[in-house]
Amino acid sequence: VGVIAVIILFQQEIRKFLLLLGKTTVFEEGNILKNVQQFWQEKYDKNHLDVSPIIDAIKNMAGSNTGALIVFSRGSELKFFADSGDRLEAKISKRLILAIFNKISPLHDGAIIINNNRIIAARCILPVSERDDIPAQFGLRHRAALGMSENTDSLVVIVSEESGQLTIARGGQFEFNLSTQEV
């Protein structure tokens, strides 16, 4: 009974610890040397992420007030969150992003996760921030983006469905009302 009580009482802390453990990629797959080499290659690869199809899709969605959540993973693939949605492992393209976030698409609810120039998954469920100081004009999509940026080292781009405004969440902070150049 005591163990169950401790788990219930410290559920949030246990969840945060497991998220921290899950985003640690140094010992992933048991090959430290391979991961160090991969880190240096990614660090100096100039064409690591082609953002032009993403920016074009964001521009179209903002113009048509189509809501979107796009998570850019930095350190890891965010497997825990990717597994909550539908795995795609697809090449990034403007048409694919627009098709995913089309209002009649079954994949439009939730977020897409981008890692290593690929769309890893769509329809992903993100953790919702529990902060009280979030402005009233931000809805659940913004709260989820903020929660993701608080729990991981990712960058999240939000396209507002109501206003078409672009917002970025990173490090638990918002940068809102951005232009596509600023994004």
Spatial CA neighbour of 170 closest among 101, 70, 88: 70
How much is the mean pLDDT over the chain? 84
Q: What is the pLDDT of residue 23?
A: 61
144 burial via Cβ count (<10 Å: 0-12, 13-18, 19+): buried
Question: What letter does residue 110 receive in the DSSP assignment?
Answer: S
d(CA 62, CA 33): 43
- Higher-confidence residue: 29 or 81? 81
Per residue in 160-170, pLDDT (tens digit) is 999 889 999 99
Task: Count each helix (H run) and each strand (E run) in the chain, helices first.
Answer: 7, 7
For the whole model, what pTM was predicted?
0.74
pLDDT in tens, 28-56: 555 545 554 554 454 445 446 788 999 99
What is the arithmetic mean of pLDDT over 76-93?
90
d(C-alpha 105, C-alpha 86), whole Å: 13
Q: CA 63, CA 6: separation in Å to the nearest integer?
A: 49
